[in-house]
Structure 1
Amino acid sequence: MTSFPWLTALVVLPVLGAVLLWVLPAGARSRARELALVVALGEVALGVGALAAFDTADAGTHQLVEQHAWIPAIGASYAVGVDGVGLALVLMSVVLVPLVVLAAWREQGSAGAATDRLRSYLALVLLLEAFIVGVFSARDLFLFYVLFEAMLIPVYFMIGGYGGPRRGAAAVKFLVYSLLGGLVMLAGVITLYLAGPGGDEGFLVENLVGTQLSTTTERLLFCSFFLAFAIKAPMVPVHTWLPDAAEQAPAGTSTLLVGVLDKVGTFGMLTLCLPLFPEASRWAAPVVVALAVLSVLYGAVLAIGQRDLMRLIAYTSVSHFGFIVLGIFALTSTSVAGSSFYMVNHGLSTGALFLLGGYLVARRGSQRIEDFGGLQRVVPVLAGLFLVSGLSALSLPGLSTFVSEFAVLVGTFTRHPAAAVVASLGVVLAAVYVLWTYQRVFTGPRPETAELATMRDVGARERWAVAPLVVLMLVLGFAPGPALDLVRPPAQLTLEQVGEQDPVRQGLVADAGGGTDDGSTGSTTDGTADGSTDGTADGTTDGTDEGGEG
């Protein structure tokens, strides 16, 4: 235990850095890049301190907790804390931001007004980081909602002020979709508060869990929250804002938007929808699973057909988010833990792809895939980094995404075998869109056009912006244990809150723990025995029931 306010420090530091960047005197503005990088690296140091203070043996409970009165008149508190999943997402966020700062070092030019534009852009990046850490840490529903909506402000300006020729339309579309979902969610937040215990701490999530609601009310509230999170995720059919935003936004913005910000949607499903509305979550699960499978396949098919590099990467994320949502609503401990781990791994691989795609676009001056070709002979390091990041996106064994995607499919198969089999086609389609893109961009004869033949390879700064992500992909691919230790206990707790148990495996013969005549046993998908719980004193009754339900 520690009394240091780690989470508050992680929120306050980037806010102070953003303010300092905005008020820098004219003579010091040339150092805006260095200042932003120092603040971002300071966040990494604070993140390491928070990890050291976190007890991984008790990762299912919220730790580093802080709570202070904020607006007692309406029951709102400043309450923050993280379990293993929240901490993993906070760490992923603080790792990505300094890499975005490095990648954007010369994104807006190097002198005069261009430097001033970059200063403002980096200030928005730091402000967004503060909001993201706050959302992943918030344990008060009102605080969560305020930060959920506040994130829109810096992203809107990062797209609309620094993007491509159609940046205005893309920024407005992003804002309209997000505000629509947020307003529907606000109605749900107010209704849930009125149905809850009320008082000075009426918005605390732990006080709202277990609120007695009618079946109809609970299902309507679930839909209001789920719609907002599905838009943010994004899921089919409310995903169309993402390809436009990714196409027009700067590469660093797309990295944070897809690699981090969109995780708020799946994080909200996991940490708010399931525990707050357990009956409605079970009721909606079959439909959500079907939508998730549709997202997996639809996103992959559209990625294959894209001619714009950044839109292609965006559509791959629609497919990947389908896997994440599938694992969450399959409601098994393996699939939920796999989805939690997938959120981190997707941020690594997709973040790297967007940064590398940004390098290519900046050098060529075009996002059209057909404007490239044969670059493997010209920029071998860039080609190698892109290949490794793409192989991680298609879940190659040995890279981190494989572990999480495998866990999602295995966990889903135990409850929804048909959905898991159909979703596994997404793995095949991923190989198509990743390898075909690599072939079109990097393979073939040496290019003859001057823009391609003289393209420079990535420099030291650009390598530093991507290399940490590649290293993490490899480390978490070969040694995922510490990360899984963070996400498994929260997954078990989530199942308990929803009132679900892991499906039992069929076809095994057991003598103890409530074995039945048809060969059902109390063994769960993670290999542990239910017999000690359900098959001891009343093993005949409970064991038979469990076997029948399986």
Structure 2
Amino acid sequence: MNSLPLLTIITVLPVIGAAISLFTRRHSRGVAQVTGILCLLLSLVIWIQLPRDGSIGLNELHHWVPSLGVQYHLGVDALGALMLILSALVSLMAIDAAHRVHHEPGLFFALVLLLEAGLFGTFTALNFFHWFIFWELSLIPAFFLIKLWGGPRRGPAATQFFVYTMVGSVALLLSFLAIYHATGSMDFINLAELAAKGYLQHQVLASLGPVMMWLTIGVLAGFAVKVPLAPFHTWLPAAYSEAPSPVTMLLTGGMSKMGVYGLIRIALPLFGPQIAAIRTPLLILAVLTIVMGAWAAAAQKDLKRVFAYSSVNHLGYCLLGIFAIAVHTGANVSDSASQAAALNGVILQMFNHGLTAAAIFWFISMIQFRSGGLRGIDTFGGLRMPAPVFAGLMGIALFSSLGLPGLNGFVGEFLIFRGVFPLSWQAAAVSVLGLLVTAAVILTVILKVFTGPVPERWASFPDLHGGERLGIAPVIGLMFLLGLLPQIVIERVNPTVQYLLAHWRF
């Protein structure tokens, strides 16, 4: 127990900020910025206070509804704390990028802060009842942000997003209700201990019969929609392209990580043997997500849709690493090292993709503002001449997404492939095609948007002004820092990875 409930404070803080923003129309963005800065600082404090052995720390445990096995149970390890930092950082970036929101700004920033609270609650809750409240809470503000401030087809996009994620949530809920019926527990830590000893499967079998695999599929479906995993990804391009760019930053930088986090925190600890049993089809779906996401991105002409499909591709690497490690290693030290490398890579990829993808959509919003809403790849050309700083900084973010060594995007992907090749060389080999196609896509964007002759209409394309440079500079600096010194994160993440792998049963 902790004398100061930091995890509760960081979750409640955005809710308080949302309430204030809602009633301070003229100063709502300032309130949101202050709230975002406080949340980011608090997330860094939480990171510093993590246990060094990789276990879950900063625990807060209170009985809520004991008769139903419901507890107010919070806690984080390096995985959860890193996601708190990412959520706080991306939320602050989105708030900064939303300075041109003039229609109901109080409501807009209140919804953004409520979404941030939903992310924080998802990454800290350790009881399913409590966790599921925040899992669903994040859906509601995201729906209204798309529906009220989105593009011309925002209605269908918001509805499709809501229906897909709600169906996934229902599957997840039904599976956990069955688990609770069999065990009388909703606590993730307790259920993981039962699974590690082999008791969870026996209790489900004795109570409900041979349904463990169906429960596994229900849980996987809930997380697959959120990531998303092909073929559950079709809601994403419409939602990303129709949402206002600050909201797209939250969707790709924060909400998509909820699904990957759920696979690591819930699916693998509780359903490891079942996931190992269907590992091959899951790996096939992960490879399809990577390769098809890259090829779909190559076929797009709209910048937001290009990077919407690119996000599918990049998150596919996380899925590849997660499904590849679901294999019984026994005393094979080489396989154990490969599992650790892959899982370290997945966690780093979660953070690095969230940072880089949010930055790219931020740059796209700047292009839209300067061009009157245009974002076609073939619409521009030669922008590096009138806007060299803009071209240079966006180029860094694009090369990070490409996976250029020296930038943050390289490290996670390298570790994933380093771990996956010994565990499933076939899946890794085919997935390399995704890397090649992604490189071609991003280089094409750079060539068509920033190089060549400058069309007359873009001869006076404005470069970044001082405020924009000040806002984006720390993000670009962080890309270099994590690319050149990834050990500042890996040194804290690796003990958690070792702790998780030691307590999982495949």
Q: Same fold (TM over 0.5)?
A: yes
TM-score of the aligned structures, taking structure 2 as reference length:
0.93
Aligned to 2:367: 360
Listed as ranges, the matches of 1:31-46 within 5 Å are 31-46=27-42
Q: 1:361 to 1:147 in 2, by over 3 A?
A: same
- 1:9 alignment partner, SS class: helix
Equivalent position amino acid for 2:161 in 1? F
For residue 17 of structure 1, what is the aligned residue in structure 2? 17
Q: Secondary structure at the match of 1:69?
A: strand
Match of residue 305, structure 2, among 308, 311, 335 = 311
**How far off its partner does 1:78 sit?**
1.2
Match of 1:301 in 2: 295
Q: Which amino acid aligns with 2:182?
A: A
1:327 aligns with 2:321: yes
Task: Tell me the distance in 1 between the aligned counterparts of 2:156 and 2:496.
Answer: 40
Alpha-carbon distance in 1 for matches of 2:63, 2:385: 61
CA distance in 1, matches of 2:111, 2:471: 19
Q: Are 1:137 and 2:116 an aligned pair? A: no
Unaligned runs of 5+ in 1: 501-550
2:199 maps to 1:205: no
Corresponding residue for 2:151?
164
Aligned to 2:173: 186
Q: Which whole-Å CA distance do the structure 2 matches of 1:474 and 1:446 have between them?
A: 30
Report what 2:431 is aligned to: 423
> Following superposition of structure 1 onto structure 2, how do residues 493-512 of structure 1 map, counting pairs within 5 Å?
493-499=499-505
- Residue in 2 that maps onto 1:152: 139
Q: What is the deviation of 1:384?
A: 0.9
- Contact 1:231/1:238, CA 8 A, preserved across alignment: yes
Note if 1:444 corresponds to 2:446.
no
Deviations along 1:277-303, one digit per CA (max 9) or x if unpaired, are 121121122211111111110000111
Q: Which residue of 2 aligns with 1:3?
A: 3
Cα offsets for 1:322-356 (capped at 9, x unmatched)? 10010111111111111011100001110110100
Task: Output the CA distance in 2 between the equivalents of 1:427 and 1:417.
Answer: 15
1:63 and 1:295 mapped to 2: Cα distance? 34
Q: Distance in 2 between matches of 1:216 and 1:230?
A: 23
Question: Which amino acid in structure 2 is aligned with residue 299 of structure 1?
Answer: G
Moved over 6 A (4+): none
Q: How far 1:471 moved relative to its partner?
A: 1.1
Superposition deviation, residue 453 in structure 1: 2.0
The one-letter amino acid of 1:191's match is: A
Instruction: Check whether the contact 1:279–1:498 (CA below 8 A) recurs between aligned residues.
Output: no
Q: Size of the alignment, in residue pairs? A: 481
Confirm or deny: 8 A CA contact 2:23 2:106 kept in the other structure.
no
Residue 2 of structure 1, CA deviation = 4.7
Amino acid at match of 1:240: T
Write the distance in 2 (CA, Å) between the matches of 1:19 and 1:445. Answer: 49
Task: Find 2:247's aligned residue among 240, 248, 253.
Answer: 253
Separation in 1 of the partners of 2:265 and 2:423?
21
* Residue type at the aligned position of 2:471: A
Deviations 1:394-419 (A, max 9, x none): 11100112111011001000110111
What SS does structure 1 have at the residue aligned with 2:445? helix
CA positional deviation for 1:230: 0.5
AA in 2 matched with 1:152: L
Find the aligned partners of 2:22 and 2:386 in 1 and give their Cα distance: 40
Shift of 1:103: 1.1
Structure with the greater relative contact order (CA < 8 A, sep ≥ 6): 1 or 2?
2
Q: Quick check: 2:47–2:78 contact (8 Å CA) kept in 1?
A: no
For the Cα contact (< 8 Å) 1:142–1:189, is it kept in 2? no
Letter in 2 for 1:346: H
Q: Choose which of 399, 411, 414 in structure 1 pairs with 2:407.
A: 399
Q: 1:126 aligns with which of 104, 113, 124?
A: 113
Match of 1:517 in 2: none
Q: Which of 64, 79, 87 matches 1:85?
A: 79
- Which of 211, 216, 227 is 1:217 aligned to? 211
CA displacement, residues 357-377 of structure 1 (integer Å, 9 cap, x when unaligned) = 111112112122221111111
Output the CA distance in 1 between the equivalents of 2:231 and 2:485.
36
Structure 2 alignment gaps of length 5 or more? 195-199, 326-338
Report which of the two structures shows the higher radius of gyration computed on alpha carbons: 1
**Structure 1 residues 70-119: Cα deviation after superposition (integer angstroms, max 9, x where no partner):** 2223211111111111111111111121221111112x24xxxx3xx122
**2:187 partner letter:** L
**Residue number among 420, 423, 434 corresponding to 2:442 in the alignment:** 434
Match of 1:346 in 2: 353
Specify the code of the residue in structure 1 equivalent to 2:17: G
CA contact (8 A) 2:21 2:27 kept: no
Partner residue of 2:48 out of 38, 52, 60: 52
Deviation at 1:428, TM superposition (A): 1.1
Query: Among the aligned pairs, what percent are the same residue?
Result: 37
